[in-house]
Amino acid sequence: MPNASSRNGSAPNDSSSTRQTFLYFGALTLFIYMATPAGYLVDIQTSYMLKNQLHATATEISHFRLITAIPIYFAFIFGLIRDQWNPFGMRDRGFFLIFAPATVAAFIWMANARLSYSGLLAGMLLLMVLSRFLGAAYQGLIALVGQEKLMSGRLAVLWNVVSSFPVLAGALASGFISRHLPPNQTFVIAAALTAVIAVFAFWKPAAVFRHAYEKPQAATTNFVGNVKRLLHHRAVYPAVLICFLWNFAPGADTPLQFYLADRLHATDDIYSYYKGIFAISFIPTFLLYGYLCKRVPLKKLLWWGTVVAIPQLVPLAFIHSPWAAVFLAVPIGLMGGLATAAYFDLAIRSCPPGLQGTLMMMVEGVFALSARGSDVLGAKIYNSSPEHGFLYCVIAITAVYASILLVILWVPKELIATADGEPNPVVEAEVMDEIAETGSA
C-alpha cells in the first residue's frame, strides 16, 4: 500500500510540515496542561482552600481528591464520545469550540461562588468532566497525526517535554498566588488559560489537518463496531498494561514524603524540591529519545528504556540525609525519560483505526488508577515496618518495573519493528484489513 501522505503530494517528514506540526501541538499541549483542573495550579490551590479556609483535615482533602478524579478513572468514555461524535462537522476543533468556553464558564462560576466544601466538590467534578472532553480531542488528535505522519516517537517527546513545564510553573505559581491573591483568583487565571484553547478551534494548519480524517487511520464505524474493534485489537492490551505498571510505584509519593519527614527529619520544602527536580530531570532523556527514535526501532528503545528504569528508585533506599534525596532526583529522573517516551510512543502506535481518543484516554485513566492504587498499597507497605518499610516499598517498585520486560514480549513484533518515520507495510496492511472487516473502508 502506498504511504498515505504520498497521495497528498508531500512527504510525511517534510521539514516545513514537521515544524508546523510541532508548533501546533507544542502550543496546544502547553495550554491544555496549564489550564487542566487536574494540574498543579488548580489542584494545589484547591487543597489550600480546603485546608486554610474550610479547615479540612488531611483525610478529607485526600477523599476530595479521590472523588474529584472519578472522571479521569473513566476517561475512556470521553474518548469513545470523541471518536464517535463530529460536532459542527469540525471533529476535534468542534470539541475545542464547545468545551473550552463551557469550561471557562465553570471556572468563572467557581470564582464567584460562595466557598464551601460541597460547592467546591461539585464545581471540581464539573470541571473534570468538561476538561476530559478537551483532553480526549487533544490526545486523540495527536495520536492520529502521530500514526498518519509516522512520527509517534517525536510527538511523544514533544508531548512529554512541553507538559513538564506547566507542572513546574503550576507548582511555583501556586506559592505566589497563595501569598498574594485571594484563593478564588486561581479560577480566574485558569479560565483565562482555558479561553486560549477555544482559539484552537479556528487554527487549522494544513500540516495537521489536511485530509487527516480521510486517511485509513481515522476510519471508524458505529458504536458497537468500535467497541468490538477495540476489544479485538491485540496491541491494546500490552500497551495499556505497560502504562499501568510504569505508573504503579508503591512508595514513590506518600511513603517517600513520610520517609523524608519522619526518618530523615526533612522539612516539607525538601519533598517539593525533590518532586520538582525529579520532573524536570526527565527532559534531557526525553530529548535523547527524540534523537534515537528516528534511528533505532521502537523494539530496542522499549528494552533499553525499561532496563535503565528498573533500578530507578533503588538509590533512595540507601540515603541518610534529606538533601541526598534532592541531589539524587537528577539521576533518578534521567533514568525514567527513555522509558516514559517509549511507552507513550507505543500507546500511539497501538491505537486501533478511528479509536485514538478511546485508547489514549484509557491510558490516562490507567495512569490515574495506578497512581492512586499504588499509593494506597505503598502506605500499607511502609507502615508494615517502622525500620524497613520504605526499603520494602523500593523492592516492590523495582519488581513491578522489572515485570514490564515480560509484557514487552506480548507486544506485536511488527508494531515495534521500525524507527520513527519509517514506513511499516505490515502494519499498514493490518489497518486496511481491520477496516475491511468492519465494512467502513
Domains of the chain (ranges, CATH numbers): 1-218 (1.20.1250.20), 232-441 (1.20.1250.20)
Count of beta carbons in the 10 Å neighbourhood of residue 73 = 15
**Residue 89 half-sphere exposure, CB side, CA atoms within 13 Å?**
0
* Predicted confidence pLDDT, tens digits, the chain (441 residues): 334 333 343 444 478 899 999 999 999 999 999 999 988 778 878 877 887 788 887 668 778 888 899 999 999 999 999 999 999 999 999 999 999 999 999 999 999 999 899 999 999 999 999 999 999 999 999 999 999 999 999 999 999 999 988 877 776 676 667 667 777 788 999 999 999 999 999 999 999 999 999 998 998 888 888 888 899 899 999 999 999 999 999 988 878 888 887 778 877 678 778 888 888 999 999 999 999 999 999 999 999 999 999 999 999 888 888 899 889 999 999 999 999 999 999 999 999 999 999 999 999 999 989 988 888 888 889 888 878 888 999 999 999 999 999 999 999 999 999 999 999 999 888 888 887 776 644
pLDDT of residue 11: 44
Q: What is the DSSP letter of 114?
A: P
CB 292 within 8 A of CB 284: no
First to last CA, the chain: 14
pLDDT of residue 4: 38
CB 354 within 8 A of CB 300: no
Interacting residues of 250 by C-beta distance below 8 A, sequence separation 6+: 374, 375, 377, 378, 381, 393, 396, 397, 400
H helix intervals, 351-414? 356-383, 389-408
CB 208 within 8 A of CB 427: no
- Measured CA angle at 180 (ends 189, 64), to 5 deg: 60
Helix (H) or strand (E) holding 11: none
pLDDT of residue 255: 85
Closest CA to 38 of 383, 372, 439, 433: 372
CB 37 within 8 A of CB 124: yes
pTM, 2 dp: 0.90
Helix (H) or strand (E) holding 411: none
Closest CA to 222 of 360, 76, 355: 355
CA atoms of 376 and 370, how far apart (whole Å): 10
Count of beta carbons in the 10 Å neighbourhood of residue 119 = 13
pLDDT of residue 256: 86
Q: Which amino acid is at 247?
A: N
pLDDT of residue 6: 38
Closest CA to 252 of 381, 347, 164: 381
Interacting residues of 405 by C-beta distance below 8 A, sequence separation 6+: 303, 306, 307, 310
Question: Residue 156 to residues 153, 171, 200, 257: CA-CA distances in angstroms?
Answer: 5, 23, 20, 30
CA atoms of 440 and 434, how far apart (whole Å): 9
Q: Produce one character per residue of 341-351: b if its CB has 16 or more CB atoms within 10 Å, e if not.
A: bbbbbbbbbbb
CA atoms of 55 and 164, how far apart (whole Å): 31
| Greatest alpha-carbon span in the chain | 66
